[in-house]
Structure 1
Amino acid sequence: MEHLRAACALALMLTFGCIRVMCTNSTYKTMLNVDLLNGYDPVVHPGKQYQSQVLNINVSFALRKIQIFNELTSEFSITGALSVYWDDERLSWDPTRYSNLIITHLKQKSIWTPPLLLSNGYDDIDLIGKGDMHIMITSSGMVSWLLPVKLTITCDADVRYYPFDKQSCLVILLPWGYNADLVQINAMASTLNTAQYEENPIWSLVSTFQASSVAPAAVGLLFSITFKRKPEFFVMNFLLPTMLMCFMNMFVFLLPAESGERVGFCITVLLSIAVFLSIVSSALPQTSSPQMAMFCYLLVVHVILSLLIMICTIVGLRFYFRSEEVEVPRRIARLAQFVNNIRKTNQNRTSVSPGSQSNITVKAKTDSDDVQLNEEKRDVTDTDVSWKEVSAALDKTCFVVFMATAMTCNISFIIVLMRS
């Protein structure tokens, strides 16, 4: 029984002792805060000699995430933590007078804070921070202002190499109402702190830059964020289908003319490319500065090729279904024979295999052979060419020419994008 009473007494002593220590600390901290704010004017900025001493404000920014970048409205929004440090001699104290307290906290509205303003803000212009936010102060007078912020600025997009474009946005923080003779903003590092950065599903962070403004009339902090687009979605859903449709359009010349589907095939592909052009145009800013997207130029080239292919298809069908009673002009006949003979010559070359065991007889050339050869050439030249053969020659020529043009345009576009 006596042991139980002793244990209870000891527990009560420890409890009251802890409460007394806590009360003592909270009491001293209350006294400290009251003494610090006694006669303190939050409008007056720190400094003992304004004429010969400049208030140094050290600033750093920890980037958390790229929230949004809208190319149409030029809206760029990021979240992070802004750290601001400066010395205020009016907020220093002797720790021995306040139970060795070396740290205290005051509300932002109770003391002077640099009126940081987002110079190129997208929304309404307002100062950063809230009045009820707590600020940590050490006994030496060092003020630590740590505040989470969401910065929304105006940043014009450069979509020249869309969807492989790279963007760079500049954030400008200014101490509104103060010039270089009163305060100096110092960047604590040359780059932003990205230790806790979270990846954006559309944009990938490339690099960051942070520096102080050296202009006498515009003292402040500048930091730049460079990021590039993740192109996989746009390549699979826009770029690759348009290129495939462009090459697919060439095979209209391989369709039989009797099928009656040539013109319908051309119109379908042309409308598909036009739909992709409208979709891409709606997703890009409606401006030509600094330059329009090269992808739009590629789509325009595809549209022009489709129009030319449709015109050539219609002309070829007119040749094919023209009456044989109409004589083919000699120049057109010679061109058709030239194209068809090239194909026949290539087929004859490929038909002879290197391992063939055919017997070759060498025969001396005579004058009668030359006369016979000239007569055969004259017969071939004077042979009548049908309109169907002219249509076939036109199809072969258009297929080769348009295929080479499409390959040149698309490969050049890809090379330019990859070099960017």
Structure 2
Amino acid sequence: MTTVAYFSFSWDDTRLSWTSKPAYSSDIERIYSTESVLFTPSLVVENSINDLGVISDKTLPMRIDQSGQVTWSPGNIYETSCDIDTTLYPFDKQTCSITLTTRGYIKAEVELKLAKMPIVLTAYQENGEWEYISSSSDVSVTARDLLLYSTLTFTFTFQRRSSYHLISTIIPMFLLAFMSCYVFKLPVDAGEKLGYCLTVLLAFAVYLTLVSDNIPTTSTTISYLSVYLLLMLGMGVISVLLTIHIIDINFTSEEEEISGCMRKITKIISKLVCWKGCGTCCKGRNSSVSVINVKRINVHLGSKKVEGNMDDDVEDEDFSWQEIARILDIFMFRVYLFLVIMLSVAFIGFMSWGSLW
């Protein structure tokens, strides 16, 4: 966290008081000096990442009142470290702090205390990426070298502005996720099936790169968004492999015999997708058709009796390679659509639940 701020220190130095001298107390209310000739407490920003030196500004005037109270307000740009949690990125909240402690003087010699208003935000300017939520301050003791040092901690909580990420990342990502399902809707003969799924896969890879660049690499947690994108990328890779196999099945020569295992799997899947009325959802309609066929056979063959029912016709149904490819397309489209919806709902649920807590 980079903060442009200043500390306001105040302490009493009775050696500088002139209230006991009437000749001066009525005419001189305050005087100014610099730290080159006055005592200043040795203070450092303990969690600074670029400067661990003592806070100092030799050109800044120090105000001294009649009672000997000294007020000193050094300012600087403070870069402090934060523990980042990107689990809910880009709907995350981050809590960062500025830790001020004494250096050289132990707590018994210099004790830090908070003012009535420890954090003043009258000059605060809104940040384009982060929204200020709250702040707090705390007094504690730090142990170093078996000695106790006085410490002040100023804590700030910010929430990431997610509008930009919602428009540029989340919504396009959902649209791409549903586009990956429709590769199985393209006919194999169209010639664009493999090119389509490769294009969607490349788009997912690009978005995964963009998200990875924006997420802080110092985080100790994994973002739900990265996991979701990685799953979608994995499903895209699998869709490419499935598409290659479906194309290979579609253009297999009719002279090549269909294996028994392939035949059994195809019959099971054909019932699940109601292929040409092979599922239970169309059972009633197919039963009537079966009766009509029996009557026609009785008329033409006379003495030949036809036995069996619709289920036997289904079991004995044969498939061509092109029909197998089409059945697999329909089945994989439904499977992918179900998985995308479930993963998207789970992602939204995790993000909503985490934001509430």
Q: TM class, shorter-chain normalised?
A: 0.7 to 0.9
* Residue 227 (structure 2) pairs with residue 294 (structure 1): no
Q: Which amino acid letter does the alignment assign opposite residue 416 of structure 1?
A: F
Residues 297-347 of structure 1, C-alpha deviation per residue, up to 9 Å, x if partnerless?
Answer: 111101110011112212222222222333433413422541453674799
* 1:166 and 2:93 aligned: yes
Q: Are the counterparts in 2 of residues 191 and 210 from structure 1 also a CA contact under 8 Å? A: yes
- 1:104 alignment partner, SS class: strand
Give the superposition deviation at 1:83. 1.2
Does residue 261 of structure 2 align to residue 332 of structure 1? no
Kept after mapping to 2: 8 A contact 1:190/1:211: no
Deviation of 1:412 (Å): 1.1
- The answer (yes or no) to whether the contact 2:266–2:327 under 8 Å persists in 1 is no
Kindly, what percent of the aligned residue pairs are identical? 29
Aligned to 1:385: 319
Q: Is 1:400 aligned with 2:334?
A: yes
8 Å contact from structure 1 (residues 191, 208) kept in 2: no
Please give the alpha-carbon distance, in whole angstroms, between the structure 2 residues aligned to 1:206 and 1:381: 66
Check the 8 A contact 2:271/2:280 in 1, yes or no: no
Larger radius of gyration: 1
1:176 paired with 2:103, answer: yes
Deviations 1:224-266 (A, max 9, x none): 1111211111222222222211110110111111111111111
- Deviation for aligned residue 1:88: 0.5
Name the counterpart of 2:164.
233
- Name 2:174's counterpart in structure 1: 243
Do the aligned partners of residues 111 and 236 (structure 1) sit closer, same or farther apart at CA in structure 2, a change above 3 Å counting? same
Q: Which amino acid aligns with 2:70?
A: V
Paired residue for 1:354? Answer: none
What do residues 363-394 of structure 1 show as CA deviations (whole Å, max 9, x unaligned)? xxxxx9xx867245433432322222211211
What is the CA–CA distance in structure 2 between the aligned matches of 1:300 and 1:137, rounded to whole Å? 62
1:321 aligned to 2:251?
yes
Output the amino acid matched with 2:18. W
Which amino acid is the alignment partner of residue 209 of structure 1? Answer: S
Structure 2 residue runs of 5 or longer lacking an equivalent are 286-297, 299-304
1:84 aligns with 2:9: yes
Shift of 1:132: 1.9
Contact 1:122–1:154 (CA under 8 A) maintained in structure 2: yes
Structure 1 residues 182 and 342: CA distance shift in structure 2, 3 A: same
**Could you list the per-position Cα deviations for residues 117-141 of structure 1 after superposition, in whole angstroms to 9, with x for gaps in the alignment?**
1112111322223112111111111
The 1:343/1:159 distance shift into structure 2, 3 A limit, reads farther
Over 3 Å counting, the alpha-carbon distance change for 1:117 and 1:337 in structure 2 is closer
Count of aligned pairs: 325
| CA gap 1:111/1:333 in 2 versus in 1, 3 angstroms | closer
Q: Tell me the equivalent position of 1:97.
A: 23
Quick check: 1:185–1:219 contact (8 Å CA) kept in 2? yes
Using the TM superposition, give the Cα deviation of residue 177 of structure 1 relative to its aligned residue in structure 2, in angstroms: 0.9
1:231 counterpart letter in structure 2: S
TM-score, length of structure 2 as denominator length: 0.83
Paired residue type of 1:266: C
Structure 1: 5+ residue stretches without partners: 1-75, 352-367
Structure 1 residues 208-231: Cα deviation after superposition (integer angstroms, max 9, x where no partner): 111222346121211111112111
Query: Are the equivalent residues in 1 in contact too, given 2:42–2:54 (CA < 8 A)?
Result: yes
Distance in 2 (CA, whole Å) between partners of 1:376 and 1:290 is 60
Q: Matched residues in 2 for 1:415 and 1:189: separation? A: 42
Partner Cα distance (2:73, 2:266) in 1: 85
Counterparts in 2 of 1:36-185, with a 5 A limit?
Answer: 76-94=1-19, 96-98=22-24, 99-185=26-112
Query: Structure 1 length as normaliser, TM-score?
Result: 0.71
**2:274 alignment partner, SS class:** helix
Which secondary structure does the structure 1 equivalent of 2:132 belong to? Answer: strand
Q: Is the partner of 1:212 in helix, strand or coil?
A: strand
Q: 1:305 aligns with which of 231, 235, 238?
A: 235
**1:259 aligned onto 2:190:** yes
Asked if the contact 1:80/1:148 (under 8 Å) is kept, the reply is: yes
Paired with 1:175 and 1:333, the residues of 2 have a C-alpha distance of: 76
Cα RMSD after superposing both structures? 2.5
Q: Distance in 2 between matches of 1:373 and 1:146?
A: 102
Rounded to whole Å, the distance in 1 between the matches of 2:43 and 2:153 is 12
Contact 1:202 1:229 in 2 (8 A): yes
Kindly indicate whether residue 336 of structure 2 is the aligned counterpart of residue 410 of structure 1. no
Question: Measured at CA, do residues 174 and 337 of structure 1 come closer, stay the same or move farther in structure 2, by a change above 3 Å?
Answer: closer
Inter-CA distance 325–304: structure 2 relative to 1 (3 Å threshold): same
Letter paired with 2:179: M
Quote the Cα distance in structure 1 between the aligned partners of 2:151 and 2:205. Answer: 48
Question: Any conservation in 2 of the 1:116–1:127 contact (CA below 8 Å)?
Answer: yes
Which digits, 9 at most, give the CA deviation of each residue in 1:163-200, with x for residues without a partner? 12221122111221100111210011475222321110
